[in-house]
């Protein structure tokens, strides 16, 4: 066994310290990680990584060399399938692929550069609404009434592409289209026949074409301050009066409600004790909507607290197909 003198021990300790320092400095001197590779969503909008617009075309061109495409074209991000790890694209029809590319390009060009700014301000970018109209996606799977009649797959792809760039933007469209519009339109499978029973024919003709053009914006009010997960216990009431209904109650968290033109409101019929739905216009006397401030998530989505104080809804704006809470499940 070697016994070190106190002087040698000090020297050995200094040497060890230096080695540790060197090890530490070499670790800290490594180049910083490129966060955009590991977590694209966390990067500033200005460097939002574009998806592989040209991927399918390049794949065909490259043939067997596709697997080595990245090495063949170093630095060509466009070749990397940043959001198609399972080559899902190959399963789509040419129409679905084209729609996917159209929505992807729109989202990357029009939304990605502005989303951080609007997120910071917690405001909705109203100026992009006319551009969304041009995409022809509002109304999703609804057939007729000026709606696009997309396949369920196409509708899902569109939603995924919008959400890939901005979840708030997809929430806006989902609330308007897949909740508001579908509740007015929805199909109910009865035996072998499919009948549209959400809204009346007159309601569909009146609201859906304008909603498909995003000229009329919709929202969907089910959740209440005391009832979210347990929405079937909701307390907003609808009382029958001559020529219509009087709605009283509150709704919470309702997306788009601060600027929606039509609000689908679920309320308990005081006669039957069942849940019904009503189309409430934004300027109805007794209706008050307050924006929920200081959210930490989905900040571009405008969520509102709704107060309904003796709001009159004419008979023609009661949705005839919603006659119990079970009917809310048929919206799909
Ligand atoms: C951004 C955003 C947008 C929204 N948009 C709309 C909209 O457009 N229209 C609309 O009607 N609503 C909307 N909502 C409301 C949403 O539907 C409700 O927030 C949701 O249903 C949950 O209800 P809650 O917030 O009252 O939470 P709660 O029901 O109070 O739940 C709180 C927590 O308790 C848990 N929990 C609840 N019950 C049970 C149980 N029995 N057992 C175990 N755990 C339980 C839940 O999982 C949750 O984690 C929106 C909410 C958000 C945040």
Residue with tokens 């596709």: 66
Diameter over CA atoms, the chain: 105
| CA of residue 218 to ligand 1 center, whole Å | 20
Ligand 1 near 229 CB (within 6 A) = yes
- Tokens in use for 324? 């119990």
Task: Determine the pLDDT at residue 32.
Answer: 61
How would you classify residue 297: left for phi > 0, otherwise alpha for psi between -120 and 50, otherwise beta?
beta
Task: Tell me, in angstroms, the distance from the centre of ligand 1 to residue 225's CA.
Answer: 10
Strand, helix or coil for residue 243: coil
What is the sign of the dihedral through the CA atoms of 277, 282, 287 and 293?
positive
Residue 298 in contact with ligand 1 by CB distance below 6 A: yes
Q: Report the distance separating Cα 153 and Cα 157, nearest Å.
A: 6
Instruction: Say if ligand 1 is within 6 A of residue 304 CB.
Output: no
Distance of CA 228 from the midpoint of ligand 1 (Å): 4
CB 177 within 8 A of CB 259: no
Tokens of 318: 């009661």
Top mutation candidate among 124, 163, 229 for ligand 1, by most atoms within 8 Å of CB: 229
261: nearest Cα among 168, 196, 327, 184: 184
Measure 220 CA to ligand 1 centroid, in angstroms.
14
* pLDDT average per 10 residues of sequence, the chain (332 residues): 64 71 61 62 60 53 49 43 71 90 91 89 94 91 91 92 92 89 66 52 90 94 95 97 98 96 96 96 98 94 97 95 84 63
What pLDDT is attached to residue 190? 41
Ligand 1 centroid distance, CA of 236 (Å): 17
Q: Tell me the C-alpha distance between 291 and 253, whole Å.
A: 9
For residue 255, give the nearest of 296, 206, 217, 308 by alpha carbon: 217
Q: How much is the pLDDT for 136?
A: 92
Query: Is the CB of 254 within 6 Å of ligand 1?
Result: yes
pTM of the model: 0.79
Pick the CATH number of 212-330 from 3.40.50.300, 2.40.37.10, 2.40.160.40, 2.40.110.10: 2.40.110.10
First to last CA, the chain: 80
Element (H, E) at 253: strand 244-255
What pLDDT shows up at residue 182?
A: 81
Return the closest-CA partner of residue 299 out of 40, 125, 108: 125
Q: What is the number of alpha carbons within 13 Å of residue 73 lying toward its C-beta?
A: 14
Q: Are strands 187-190 and 287-291 parallel, antiparallel or unpaired?
A: unpaired
Secondary structure (3-state) at 217? coil
Q: List the chain domain ranges.
A: 212-330
pLDDT at 2: 52
- Sign, CA torsion 303/164/228/295: negative
- Residue whose C-alpha is closest to residue 212's, from 107, 127, 142: 142
Structure tokens at 175: 């609330």
The verdict on the CB of residue 7 being under 6 Å from ligand 1 is no
Burial code (b: 16+ CB inside 10 Å, e: under 16) for 98-113 equals ebbbbbbebbbebbbe
Q: Which atom of ligand 1 is nearest to the CA of 230?
A: 29
Residue keyed to tokens 């209706």: 287
Q: What is the rounded CA–CA span in Å between residue 35 and residue 38? A: 5
Structure tokens at 316: 């023609």
CB neighbourhood size of 58 (10 A): 18
Q: Which atom of ligand 1 is nearest to the CA of 179?
A: 8
pLDDT of residue 332: 59
């Amino acid at each position: 066994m070697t016994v070190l003198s106190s002087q040698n021990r000090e020297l050995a300790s200094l040497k060890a310290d230096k080695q540790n320092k060197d090890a530490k400095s070499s670790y800290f001197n490594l180049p910083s990680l490129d966060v955009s590779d590991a977590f694209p969503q966390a990067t500033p909008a200005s460097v939002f990584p574009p998806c592989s617009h040209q991927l399918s075309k390049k794949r065909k061109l490259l043939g067997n060399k596709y697997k080595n495409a990245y090495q063949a074209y170093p630095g060509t991000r466009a070749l990397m399938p940043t959001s198609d790890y399972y080559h899902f694209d190959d399963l789509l029809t040419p129409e679905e692929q084209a729609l996917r590319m159209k929505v992807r390009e729109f989202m990357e060009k029009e939304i990605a550069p502005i989303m951080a700014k609007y997120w910071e301000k917690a405001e909705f970018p109203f100026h992009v609404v006319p551009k969304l109209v041009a995409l022809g996606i509002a109304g999703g799977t609804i057939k007729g009434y000026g709606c696009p009649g997309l396949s369920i797959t196409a509708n899902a792809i569109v939603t995924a592409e919008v959400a890939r760039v901005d979840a708030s933007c997809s929430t806006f469209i989902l609330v308007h289209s897949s909740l508001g519009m579908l509740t007015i339109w929805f199909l109910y499978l009865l035996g072998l026949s499919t009948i549209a029973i959400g809204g009346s024919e007159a309601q569909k003709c009146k609201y859906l074409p304008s909603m498909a053009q995003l000229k009329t914006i919709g929202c969907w009010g089910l959740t209440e301050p005391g009832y979210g997960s347990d929405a079937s216990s909701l307390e907003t009431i609808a009382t029958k009066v001559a020529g219509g209904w009087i709605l009283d109650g509150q709704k919470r968290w309702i997306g788009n409600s601060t600027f929606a033109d039509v609000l689908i409101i679920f309320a308990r019929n005081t006669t039957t004790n069942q849940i019904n739905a009503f189309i409430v216009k934004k300027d109805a006397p007794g209706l008050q909507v307050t924006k929920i401030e200081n959210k930490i998530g989905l900040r571009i989505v405008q969520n509102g607290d709704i107060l309904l104080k003796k709001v009159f809804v004419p008979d023609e704006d009661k949705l005839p197909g919603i006659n119990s809470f079970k009917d809310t499940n048929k919206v799909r």
